[in-house]
């Protein structure tokens, strides 16, 4: 990181998270992704970190975002890969390729839901997993990441 610049944290969101607030609110809550972005951005900026907040419904675009974090000098990643958590070797490989400290976050606790949600491919590349805290889990994931970085 060049001297005098804030640490850049990439917060990357997978498929259907653009529908937060509308999508199964009994599970995912009533806040929109824009609400979550505002909270996370404020949390990071209060701690002198810059927030790059991204979302895509497409696996390859998520790979590009992870690589972008590396090429644009990101200090670390918070990622909610959503459904790709349970299927994507490509996202795992992208995270391993960057070697950036990464925290996995889930709004629900996938381990207490359907059996197919119990596998996380990306977990192997993450320093921690936050789950089941609702959308507050994003700031908790940022807290863990900043603690690891400082
Ligand atoms: C979000 C999703 O979209 C699901 O596919 C995951 C995760 C759980 C979450 O809790 O944030 O299984």
Q: What pLDDT score was predicted for residue 6?
A: 86
In angstroms, what is the span from residue 3 Cα to ligand 1's centroid? 37
Distances from the Cα of 99 to the Cαs of 6, 75, 125, in angstroms?
Answer: 20, 10, 8
- The DSSP element (H or E) to which 53 belongs, if any, is strand 49-55
The CA-to-CA distance between both ends of the chain, in Å, stands at 13
Q: Which residues are catalytic?
A: 28, 106
**CB 33 less than 6 A from any atom of ligand 1:** no
- pLDDT for 5: 75
User: Ligand 1 centroid to 143 CA: how many Å?
Assistant: 21
Query: Could you give phi then psi for residue 78, rounded to 5 degrees?
Result: -110, 125
Alpha-carbon distance of 10 to 68, in angstroms, equals 9
* Any atom of ligand 1 within 6 Å of the Cβ of 32: no
- SS3 call for 117: helix
Question: Which of 26, 107, 112, 114 has the most ligand 1 atoms within 8 A of CB, as the residue to mutate?
Answer: 107
Indicate the DSSP class of residue 19.
Answer: G
Question: What torsion, rounded to 10 degrees, do the Cα atoms 68, 70, 72, 76 define?
Answer: 110
83 CB within 6 A, ligand 1? yes
Q: Are 91 and 62 in contact (CB under 8 A)?
A: yes
110 Cβ inside 6 Å of ligand 1 = yes
Average pLDDT across the chain, whole number: 96
Q: What is the band of 4 on the pLDDT scale with cuts at 50, 70, 90?
A: low
Q: Indicate if the pLDDT at residue 2 is higher than 90.
A: no
**Residue 86 CA, closest ligand 1 atom number:** 12
Residue 102 has pLDDT above 60, yes or no: yes
3-class SS of residue 46:
helix
């Amino acid at each position: 990181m060049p001297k005098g610049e804030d640490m850049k944290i990439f917060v990357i969101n997978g498929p259907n998270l653009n529908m937060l607030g509308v999508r199964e609110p009994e599970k995912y809550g009533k806040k929109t992704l824009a609400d979550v972005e505002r909270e996370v951005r404020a949390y990071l900026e209060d701690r002198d970190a810059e927030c790059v907040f991204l979302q895509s419904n497409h696996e390859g675009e998520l790979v590009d975002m992870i690589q972008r974090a590396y090429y644009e000098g990101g200090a670390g990643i918070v990622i909610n890969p959503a459904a790709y958590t349970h299927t994507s070797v490509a996202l795992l490989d992208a995270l391993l390729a960057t070697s950036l400290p990464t925290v996995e976050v889930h709004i629900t606790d996938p381990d207490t839901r359907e059996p197919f949600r119990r596998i996380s491919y990306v977990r192997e590349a993450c320093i921690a997993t936050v789950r089941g805290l609702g959308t507050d889990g994003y700031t908790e994931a940022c807290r863990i990441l900043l603690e690891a970085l400082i």
